[in-house]
């Protein structure tokens, strides 16, 4: 693993102090020479424990106690990984990636093949006035001061460089490779921040990944394209009524690849009484523009808004898929959570709003989850507000598991991407079949190409989009192009130079998917194909698939 390099710009004093405190707490452990043999024995004991499973907390503690009694200092898993890597680098221990995997504290964080780094923008008002949305002046709109990610951002003064650098360091210390990073920028409505702030924010996040400063966003992007930690996805969240052709061009200039949009509801009345400030058509228009410009669309949908009933919520959720203009690629299902610092609280106090009870909500979520199409990834089923903030209604943080168990108990199966990802399971190429799922939207024909096992476990997928003939395009240069909107191959997040037998990322599945997409586009009569590549994936498309930068996208002649 590459070590993180120091920044050359001096950050503000309070950021320096926070960083110093953090580093002091995370000072690497040094072993005395006589402790090194004990450490090697300890590692060997860990390796012997459950060759196929993660080393659980109790097992780790038991072994640690044994070796601490013999004279080893008490080591956390991150200490063990750091020491282990040091010894491997010196040639004193053979490197075993399986051992590192088993010891990782939170294997799910990088299971989908990339490491996600989440950063928050500075506190700033949002043009929206949604009654369910909390206001905390210390935070960007819709975030609460004591949410875990928000605390992290505040600790770093919302500085993009400090947030990104600290996250990378923390992930690398617990054994998570951070060479392929999806950057998730959260906070209110991104498009309402000044563009110079947006540009600076992205530039500084990239500087942190690059480990060196740059004079401009373009320079930071150029460095990142060949840097040690590549940005393989950039996500922002904004409102549908900000999505215009001009905004999409700006997103591409920043390197954005995915946009999160709060659909919340597809019912005009519910949108109006919850004061969303836009209509359903605005969501439909935004999704059409985003899709035609190749962006991945991540929608948020809310249950239990003011005026909704379980029956109206079921109808509304069905519209996400029956309305061809909506059909997002990814979804967060957020049942409305009643918090004191949202306007909805006053409605509840006046008896005009009542949250669903746990059973009603569980049954509703189970019915929703069971109807999600196979081309959609459900990323979340509940907002992670700390339960101490929730005034009434559901406080269960594990409602997704409860609702999923309900679906399975009813003999129904989840089809969504997250339920079918192979995660860390090893598969052979001959166990996988290529499957194409085609569906229509109001402006495109979408092909979801997937590599699946016989029992429909998903090893990788590609989203191929064919704009309908004569469709007005938000980016006119894309005329005559088919579009690859996403390529995703699963497996643990391997470093750029690592190799690992049987893991989907290293079986060339991505290349096969791209080759197939090109064939399909050529057969459909498209002369060219474009891909909405992130900064850090440009080299891959250029080197292996003959794509070249052409304005805001990479394109190839078919
Ligand atoms: S648009 Fe989003 S962030 Fe703004 S008030 Fe509405 S829910 Fe909150």
Instruction: Give the H/E segment covering residue 237.
Output: strand 230-238
Greater pLDDT, 552 or 20: 552
Q: What pLDDT, in 10s, does the model give residues 358-391? A: 999 999 999 999 999 999 999 999 887 777 788 8
Q: Which residue's alpha carbon is nearest to atom 5 within ligand 1? A: 128
CA of 146 to the centre of ligand 1 (A): 18
Q: How many alpha carbons lie under 13 Å from residue 177 in its C-beta half-sphere?
A: 22
**pLDDT at residue 50 in the model:** 55
CA distance 156 to 153: 5
Say if residue 102's pLDDT is above 90: no
CA distance 331 to 301: 7
Greater pLDDT, 101 or 322: 322
CA distance 466 to 449: 13
Q: Is 450 exposed, middle or buried (0-12, 13-18, 19+ CB in 10 A)?
A: buried
Among 134, 147, 185, 188, residue to substitute to test ligand 1 (most atoms within 8 Å of Cβ): 188
**Pocket lined around ligand 1, Cβ cut-off 6 Å:** 126, 128, 130, 133, 141-142, 188-189, 239, 262
> What is the DSSP-derived secondary structure letter of residue 478?
G
Say if residue 320's pLDDT is above 60: yes
Q: What pLDDT, in 10s, does the model give residues 515-528? A: 999 999 999 999 99
- Can you tell me the mean pLDDT for 287-310? 97
Say if residue 128's pLDDT is above 50: yes
CA distance 365 to 383: 13
Q: Bridge-partner residues for 81, per DSSP? A: none
**pLDDT at residue 53 in the model:** 60
Q: What pLDDT, in 10s, does the model give residues 451-475? A: 999 999 999 999 999 999 989 999 9
Q: Which residue's alpha carbon is nearest to atom 3 within ligand 1? A: 188
Residue 509 structure tokens = 């599945």
- Can you tell me the mean pLDDT for 531-553? 92
Residue 300 structure tokens = 């948020």
CA of 199 to the centre of ligand 1 (A): 22
**pLDDT at residue 500 in the model:** 46
**pLDDT at residue 108 in the model:** 42
CA of 460 to the centre of ligand 1 (A): 33
Q: Which of 1-5, 40-44, 75-79 has the lowest mean pLDDT?
A: 1-5
> 287 near 330, Cβ under 8 Å?
no
Index of the ligand 1 atom closest to the CA of residue 133: 8
**pLDDT at residue 498 in the model:** 43
Q: What pLDDT, in 10s, does the model give residues 403-461? A: 999 999 999 999 999 999 987 677 888 899 999 999 999 999 999 999 999 999 999 99
Nearest of 498, 553, 539 to residue 232 by alpha carbon: 539
Among 124, 133, 139, 240, residue to substitute to test ligand 1 (most atoms within 8 Å of Cβ): 133
**pLDDT at residue 38 in the model:** 86
**pTM across the whole model:** 0.81
Among 120, 123, 130, residue to substitute to test ligand 1 (most atoms within 8 Å of Cβ): 130
Say if residue 55's pLDDT is above 50: yes
Mean pLDDT of the chain: 86
Q: Which residue's alpha carbon is nearest to atom 1 within ligand 1? A: 128
Q: What pLDDT, in 10s, does the model give residues 69-95? A: 888 888 877 778 778 777 776 667 766
Q: What is the β-pairing status of strands 444-452 and 433-440?
A: antiparallel
CA of 472 to the centre of ligand 1 (A): 30
């Amino acid at each position: 693993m590459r070590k993180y390099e120091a920044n050359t710009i001096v950050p503000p004093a309070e950021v320096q102090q926070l960083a110093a405190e953090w580093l002091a707490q995370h000072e690497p452990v040094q072993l005395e020479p006589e402790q090194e043999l004990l450490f090697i024995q300890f590692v060997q004991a860990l390796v012997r424990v459950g060759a196929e499973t993660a080393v659980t907390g109790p097992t780790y503690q038991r072994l640690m106690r044994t070796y601490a009694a013999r004279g080893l200092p008490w080591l956390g898993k991150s200490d063990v990984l750091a020491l282990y890597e040091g010894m491997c680098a010196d040639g004193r221990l053979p490197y075993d990636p399986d051992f590192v995997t088993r010891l990782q504290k939170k294997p799910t964080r990088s299971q989908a093949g990339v490491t996600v780094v989440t950063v928050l923008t500075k506190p700033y008002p949002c043009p929206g006035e949604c009654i369910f949305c909390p206001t905390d002046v210390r935070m960007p709109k819709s975030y609460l001061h004591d949410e875990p990610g928000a605390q992290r951002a505040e600790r770093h003064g919302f500085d993009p460089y400090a947030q990104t650098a600290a996250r990378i360091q923390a992930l690398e210390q617990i054994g998570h490779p951070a060479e392929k990073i999806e950057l998730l920028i959260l906070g209110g409505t991104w498009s309402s921040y000044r563009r110079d702030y947006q540009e600076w924010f992205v530039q500084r996040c990239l500087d942190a990944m690059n480990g060196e400063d740059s004079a401009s966003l373009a320079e930071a992007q150029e460095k990142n394209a060949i840097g040690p930690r590549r940005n393989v996805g950039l996500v922002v969240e904004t409102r549908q009524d900000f999505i215009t052709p001009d905004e999409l061009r700006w997103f591409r200039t920043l390197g954005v690849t995915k946009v999160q949009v709060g659909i919340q509801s597809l019912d005009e009345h519910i949108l109006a009484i919850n004061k969303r400030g836009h209509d359903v058509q605005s969501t439909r228009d935004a999704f059409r523009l985003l899709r035609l410009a190749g962006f991945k669309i991540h929608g948020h949908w809310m249950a239990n808004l003011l005026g909704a009933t379980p029956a109206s919520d079921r109808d509304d959720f069905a519209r996400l898929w029956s309305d061809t203009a909506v059909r997002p690629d990814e979804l967060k299902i957020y049942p409305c959570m009643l918090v004191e610092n949202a306007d909805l609280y006053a409605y509840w106090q006046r008896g005009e709003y009542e949250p669903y009870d746990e059973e009603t909500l569980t049954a509703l979520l189970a019915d929703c989850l069971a109807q999600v199409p196979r081309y959609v990834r459900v990323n979340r089923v509940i907002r992670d507000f700390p339960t101490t903030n929730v005034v009434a209604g559901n406080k269960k943080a594990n409602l997704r598991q409860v609702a999923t168990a309900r679906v399975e108990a009813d003999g129904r199966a989840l089809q969504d991407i997250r339920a079918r990802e192979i995660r860390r399971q090893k598969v052979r190429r001959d166990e996988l079949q290529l499957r194409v799922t085609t569906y229509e939207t109001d402006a495109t024909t979408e092909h979801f190409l997937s590599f699946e096992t016989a029992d429909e476990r998903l090893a990788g997928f590609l989203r191929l989009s064919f704009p309908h003939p004569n469709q007005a395009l938000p980016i006119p240069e894309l005329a005559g192009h088919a579009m690859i909107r996403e390529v995703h191959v699963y497996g643990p997040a391997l470093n750029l130079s690592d190799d690992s037998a049987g893991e989907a990322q290293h079986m060339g599945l991505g290349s096969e998917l791209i080759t197939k997409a090109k064939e399909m586009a050529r057969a459909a009569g498209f002369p060219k194909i474009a891909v909405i590549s992130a900064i850090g994936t440009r080299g891959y498309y250029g080197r292996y698939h003959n794509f070249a930068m052409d304005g805001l996208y990479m394109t190839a002649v078919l």
